[in-house]
Chains A and B, each alone.
Chain A
Amino acid sequence: MSLALISSMLILSFNYATPIIVAALGGIYAERSGVTNIGIEGMMVIGAFVAAAFVPLFESQLGGVTPWIAIVLGTIAGGIYSLIHAYISIDLRGDQIISGTALNMLSVGIAVYFTQIIFGMQRTQTFNRGISKVNVPILKDIPILGDLLFMRIYPTFFLSLALVVITWFVLFKTRFGLRLRACGEHPSAVDSVGVSVRKMRYIGVILSGLLAGLAGGIMVLSQSTQFTAFSIHGVGFIALASLIFGRWNPWGVLGAGIFFGFSQIFTVYANDFAFLRSVPNEFFFMMPYVFTILAMLLFSRRSVAPKAVGEPYDVSKR
């Protein structure tokens, strides 16, 4: 097995994993604050749509920075969209699963409605300037590792790594993180010391929406040439799975995301390994999903979900 092959596989896995990691990190904020976020998929769709719609409209005026502005706008759009979920699940104390599911279903409808208005078709116009691969200066010259990790890679992967570190720091090293986590474990205790559970949960959900929007933008701008109703197709749910698989921990999410990415890539590369060649291809197509279910079975019992996740906080029941 050659180094070039390993390098190809790793880089592709990272590319696949990037949106999964970013969206799952968002999920951590929401769920650690006590709000289940099934709506990640929908928030990604909104982020992807806004980012992909912005690029073809402005790329000729703005040039090379267009995709970066686009993902910032996608991020903001995801955050705004998540307010619906926050309002329903925090203020109205509605069922968080239903709210999230509704957001998922609504998202494609909204996106396609606007593409119809803006572009007169059910997808965005194809864009010319997406996020492109880069060779990282200096680091690419490190022997072996340089070729493996720093050649022809999407810069967004490094962004996702930075977000992992930031999330870890915020959650476990700051007062804000402690309060956020406490809201997901024992909201009445947080309330009793004068911290607003409502505010913390709003922040958690909005952060989740922002990151999901970012993930959607990254996904469409680095992997495709336009936004369609199928652009996200379930990656938000894979992110949810990574969140559980990664045990609500940023490092765990990083590992889970790369694992899911790698298992997807492996389906494509399986035929390159002589001893696997006799196995029908369909078997490998099935593997990521089988792994997901197995992981669920193995980890769910020892799962460390925030205790109060999914329960609306009701002061009168304190």
Chain B
Amino acid sequence: MKRYLALLLVVILFAVSCTPAGTAEDHIGGADPEAPKVKLGLVTDTGGIDDKSFNQGTWEGLVAYKVGAKLEEENVKFLQSTSDADYIPNLTTLAEEGMDLVVAPGFLFEDAIKQFSTDFPEQKILFIDAAVDAPNVMNAVFAEHEGSYLVGVAAALKAQEAGKNKVGFIGGADFELIQKFEAGFEQGVKAIAPEMEIVIQYATAFDKPEEGQTLASKMYDDGVYVIYHAAGGTGNGAIKEAKDRRENEEDVWIIGVDKDQYEDGIYSGGDVESAILTSMIKRVDLAAYRAAQAVADGTFEGGTVEYKIKDEGVGIPAENPNLTDEWVNTINEYKDKIAGGEITVDPVPSRVK
């Protein structure tokens, strides 16, 4: 019996992981073919290079720079990590090959970057989606609250059209970073419909789909019309719930996060209908591209760069089949207002203040 108890304790220890994401192509440009030829290296996290998420997006950014700046094929490369233990060896390999810039996408690299940046103090490093304080590390973070504001506007417009007065937010875990998503969403919804009710729920982890499904089911049962999830794998369960309900002719929607999740929301095997209203995307490709450019121009410096709406660093996808053109125009108006400083989005949700 003891061994069962021990195993049950192991169960409790099973947890914690997060899946960040994001890609797109436009708004990239300006690479100078005459600029000094740089060597660029990327280390992927365990998600692999084709993860349709951070690794892939970052790689696309580097490739876009390579093409624009006419770099040699072999001077832009990536190394894949099969476990956390590969991070430092992979980073070290690239540094020793004389890369001008080494890129690490995703907060999973935090400890590895701390170590690596002190082992190679001269190595220029781009760290995406989290921050390490070192003179040779450029940290690219995103103004998630600004992007979330836009999807909040989308949610409110959609709900108003349907005559509904409730929208919801599901966070993977209740801490500062995820609260930024909540805060932006809340303010975006209120901008369109000040009276609209926003139901907030947090899960306990980023890798428990059934928990996301339960939360989404509860919200939809309570009359919530559109849910915005910032919950990685847990959010997949929420997407599944939205798909199931739409298949059963229930009119509910969900908003994706980090990357364009439209495809994840397609149901009934059809190729047109998706439960994803729109998505809040983070442009990691842009961060990688700009960092490569900075290295070539000699303007690279350590510190944290926040990619905001005005840099096109966050936003909604170029294609939104479930939004009308009119709504997209309204969203773009808000986007311009935020970019122009007319609207300031607070990263702290009202419930926390």
Q: Which residues of A contact B (CB under 8 A)?
A: 4-5, 8, 11-12, 15-16, 38, 59-60, 63-64, 66, 97, 116, 119-123, 126, 128-130, 132-133, 135, 152, 219, 222-226, 228, 230-231, 233-234, 237-238, 240-241, 244, 264-265, 268-269, 285, 289, 292-293, 296, 300, 303
Residues in B whose Cβ lies below 8 Å from that of A293: 5, 8
Binds A, one of B115-123, B181-189, B210-218: B210-218
A303 contacts B52, CB within 8 Å?
A: no
Q: Does B248 contact A (CB under 8 A)?
A: yes
Report the Cα distance A287→B337, complex, angstroms.
46
Binds A, one of B35-43, B63-71, B104-112, B234-242: B234-242
Report the Cα distance A63→B271, complex, angstroms.
12
A59 contacts B269, CB within 8 Å?
A: yes
Q: Does B247 contact A (CB under 8 A)?
A: yes
**Given A121-B51, A265-B214: A233 touches B4 (CB 8 Å cut-off):** no
Q: Does B270 contact A (CB under 8 A)?
A: yes
B213 contacts A122, CB within 8 Å?
A: no
B236 contacts A63, CB within 8 Å?
A: no
B48 contacts A122, CB within 8 Å?
A: yes
A8 contacts B221, CB within 8 Å?
A: yes
**Given A12-B214, A129-B269: A38 touches B7 (CB 8 Å cut-off):** yes
Closest to B201 in A: A268
| Cross-interface CB contact of B48 among A116, A224, A237, cutoff 8 Å | A116
Write out, one digit per residue, whether chain B residues 214-244 have a CB within 8 A of any chain A CB (1) or not (0): 1101100100000000000100110110011
| Cross-interface CB contact of B209 among A120, A223, A264, cutoff 8 Å | A223
Residues in B whose Cβ lies below 8 Å from that of A64: 269
Report the Cα distance A303→B1, complex, angstroms.
9
A132 contacts B214, CB within 8 Å?
A: no
**Given A16-B210, A233-B15, A268-B218: A223 touches B4 (CB 8 Å cut-off):** no
A233 contacts B14, CB within 8 Å?
A: yes
Report the Cα distance A247→B199, complex, angstroms.
41
**Given A120-B50, A128-B266, A128-B268: A234 touches B237 (CB 8 Å cut-off):** no
B217 contacts A8, CB within 8 Å?
A: yes
Report the Cα distance A97→B221, complex, angstroms.
43
Interface of B: prevailing SS: helix
**Given A121-B47, A296-B1: A128 touches B10 (CB 8 Å cut-off):** no
**Given A12-B214, A122-B48, A133-B244: A237 touches B7 (CB 8 Å cut-off):** yes
Report the Cα distance A116→B264, complex, angstroms.
19
**Given A120-B48, A128-B269, A300-B1: A224 touches B7 (CB 8 Å cut-off):** no
Interface pairs A-B: 4 shortest CB-CB: A224-B209, A230-B207, A234-B11, A234-B14
Minimum CB–CB distance from A128 to chain B (whole Å) comes to: 5
Report the Cα distance A141→B317, complex, angstroms.
43
Residues in B whose Cβ lies below 8 Å from that of A238: 11
Write out, one digit per residue, whether chain B residues 58-87 have a CB within 8 A of any chain A CB (1) or not (0): 000000000000000000000000000000
Minimum CB–CB distance from A61 to chain B (whole Å) comes to: 10
11 other A-B residue contacts (CB within 8 Å) besides A129-B268, A224-B233: A11-B217, A120-B49, A121-B52, A128-B266, A219-B210, A223-B209, A233-B208, A237-B7, A237-B11, A296-B1, A296-B5
Report the Cα distance A228→B46, complex, angstroms.
12
| Cross-interface CB contact of B236 among A38, A224, A234, A292, cutoff 8 Å | A224
Q: Does B263 contact A (CB under 8 A)?
A: yes
**Given A233-B15, A296-B8: A225 touches B218 (CB 8 Å cut-off):** no
| Cross-interface CB contact of B233 among A135, A228, A234, A289, cutoff 8 Å | A228
B236 contacts A225, CB within 8 Å?
A: yes
Q: Does B12 contact A (CB under 8 A)?
A: yes
| Cross-interface CB contact of B4 among A8, A123, A226, A296, cutoff 8 Å | A296
| Cross-interface CB contact of A240 among B7, B233, B236, cutoff 8 Å | B7
Residues in A whose Cβ lies below 8 Å from that of B48: 116, 120-122
Residues in B whose Cβ lies below 8 Å from that of A128: 243, 266-270
Minimum CB–CB distance from B249 to chain A (whole Å) comes to: 10
Closest to B206 in A: A230
Closest to A292 in B: B8
Report the Cα distance A209→B248, complex, angstroms.
33
Report the Cα distance A15→B247, complex, angstroms.
17
B247 contacts A237, CB within 8 Å?
A: no
Report the Cα distance A98→B270, complex, angstroms.
45
- Identify the interface centre among A59, A97, A292: most chain B CB within 10 Å of its CB: A292
- Identify the interface centre among A59, A237, A265, A300: most chain B CB within 10 Å of its CB: A237
